[in-house]
Amino acid sequence: MRVSFSENLEEFEHFLGYHFHDKRLLLESLTHKSYHHENPDEVISYNERLEFLGDSVLGLVIAETLFTENNPLTEADMSKMKSYLVNKSILFETATMLTIGKYLKLGKGEESTGGRHKNSILADAMEALVGAIFLDSDYATVKTVIQRLFNQRIANVIAKKEGYDFKSELQERCQGVFGVLPEYKIVKQEGEEHKKVFTIEVYINGELYGIGLGKSKKEAQMIAAEKAFAKLMNG
């Protein structure tokens, strides 16, 4: 059954933790171009312009938050962390947490093909929402909203290096220090076909530097690379 856009938007604002002064901005941020194209007389705008603005605002807030950490981060670390925190997958997860899909205004075509659950549509709506909050209030306010929504992600990125591409990090480090590439070896596969566990070892110049277990080869390699990278960095 189609969820009507007449759902209680006050409920959404409650989830969001922000109540709009200009409700038109909220409506625009939740209006997909497919709805506008099918109903040009009903709505004169859709969320792509707000998405453009929100992308920049979000990036600035994340960059400032990382820059003002108590333990100063390097430019390289901040760049990688920011790139991870503003990527489409994180925006999609945040939008899903806020149940944005429930309130989107979609055209019939997008509605029929599951647009309320599409990663790209939800991620774009999340950026548009940030842009709408910025226009409706000020930088300090939108910063507070963003930090509340992303605080756990930011903490995990800083403390646990969540989202780091350790395979790339290890490769760069190995090439710079040793002039060679790390070598990954699958040493074990266990479990049924749909529940396999892979054990992978990573070697540098023939020396074992890390072992990783994962539900996929990629996951096991990343875990092994993370351990090898830590060993390299700790001497």
* Model pLDDT for residues 133-160, shown as the tens digit of each residue: 999 999 999 999 999 999 999 998 888 7
Q: Is the model's pLDDT at 230 over the cut of 80?
A: yes
- Quickly count: other Cβ atoms within 10 Å of residue 144's Cβ: 15
Which pLDDT score, from 0 to 100, does residue 179 have? 92
Least confident of 106-115, 168-177, 204-213: 168-177
3-state secondary structure of 204: strand
Set 28, 51, 111, 127: catalytic member: 127
- Strand partners for 204: 207
Q: What are the residue ranges of CATH 3.30.160.20 in the chain?
A: 166-233
Pick the CATH number of 166-233 from 3.40.50.150, 3.30.420.40, 3.90.1150.200, 3.30.160.20: 3.30.160.20
Distances in Å between the Cα of 186 and the Cα atoms of 115, 168, 197 are: 39, 19, 11
List, by residue range, all CATH 1.10.1520.10 domains of the chain.
9-160
Contacts by 76-85, CB closer than 8 A, 24 or more apart: 80/164, 80/165, 81/154, 81/157, 81/158, 81/163, 84/157, 84/162, 84/163, 84/164, 85/150, 85/153, 85/154, 85/157, 85/163
Say if residues 156 and 162 touch (Cβ distance below 8 Å): yes
Strands (E), the chain: 183-190, 197-204, 207-214
Mean pLDDT computed over 119-136: 97
The reply to whether 55 belongs to the active site is: yes
Task: Exactly one of 28, 51, 55, 111 is catalytic; name it.
Answer: 55
**Cα–Cα separations (whole angstroms), residue 204 to 114, 173, 184, 232:** 46, 11, 9, 10
* Tens digit of each residue's pLDDT (9 = 90 or more) over 39-73: 888 878 999 999 999 999 999 999 999 999 888 88
- Domain 9-160: which topology? Ribonuclease iii, N-terminal Endonuclease Domain; Chain A (1.10.1520)
Residue 2 clears pLDDT 60, i.e. is over it: no
- 127 annotated active-site: yes
Read off the amino acid at residue 165.
D
